[in-house]
Amino acid sequence: MQKFLDGKYAPAKEKIRDILASPMFQHVEGLSKEQYREQVLIWCKELARNEMGSYAFPKEVGGKGDMGSNISAFETLAHFDLSLLVKFGVQMGLWGGSVYNLGTEKHHKDLLPGVMSLDTPGCFAMTETGHGSNVQGLETVARYDRETDSFVINSTTPGARKDYIGGAAAHAKKATVFAQL
């Protein structure tokens, strides 16, 4: 009956359920916020180790190219733990998806393997306090500094403050930042 209900993507759902059934995915009550964040990161790394993040990316960049299985796996994660779903979704969907869809071939080569393995945890910095997700109204400014060969990011007003950046409070090492150039 389960295979019938799972439909075409039963193998992806079975794989994720098998992973989530392992002892390391046991919920522990009473963890502090910091401990819980670490627990969720460990879970995310285990999912990545089992190549669950690679479904979302095309084969030509090292993924499995199976968006249907990706969505089915995410749906199954939601039945286990929503914090895990969000953290894994930010890593693979928002951070990884922005690298894939907005980056160049160099970014794909340099970053996507680490996105899929979670060796390069990242975040997605778009939303601003005063503008929500209205990218045309963004006030954050990015200026290129030739001396340091880097961008300097500046929130020019209190309304330009970046909020709701999943992964930024802990763990993210890189970010896709939406700003005015």
In terms of Cβ atoms closer than 10 Å to its own Cβ (0-12, 13-18, 19+), residue 8 is exposed
Q: Which domains does the chain have, with CATH numbers?
A: 2-177 (1.10.540.10)
Q: How far apart are CA 7 and CA 75, in angstroms?
A: 13
Residue type, 33: K
* Structure token digits, residue 1: 């009956």
Task: Give the per-residue pLDDT at 167.
Answer: 83
Span 49-61, pLDDT tens digits: 999 999 999 999 9
Mean pLDDT of the 31-52 span: 97
Question: Helices (DSSP H) in 26-128: which residue ranges?
Answer: 33-49, 67-78, 82-89, 96-102, 105-117
Kindly indicate the confidence band of residue 5, based on its pLDDT and cuts at 50, 70 and 90: confident
Given a contact cutoff of 8 angstroms between Cβ atoms, the answer to whether 84 and 77 are in contact is yes
Task: Give the per-residue pLDDT at 68.
Answer: 95
Pairing status of strand 122-125 against strand 174-177: parallel
Span 58-104, pLDDT tens digits: 999 999 999 999 999 999 999 999 999 999 999 999 999 999 999 99
57 to each of 29, 32, 120, 167, how far by Cα in Å?
Answer: 35, 34, 16, 20
Which of 6-10, 93-97, 115-119, 121-125 comes out lowest in average pLDDT?
6-10
pLDDT at residue 150 is higher than 90: yes
Global pTM?
0.90
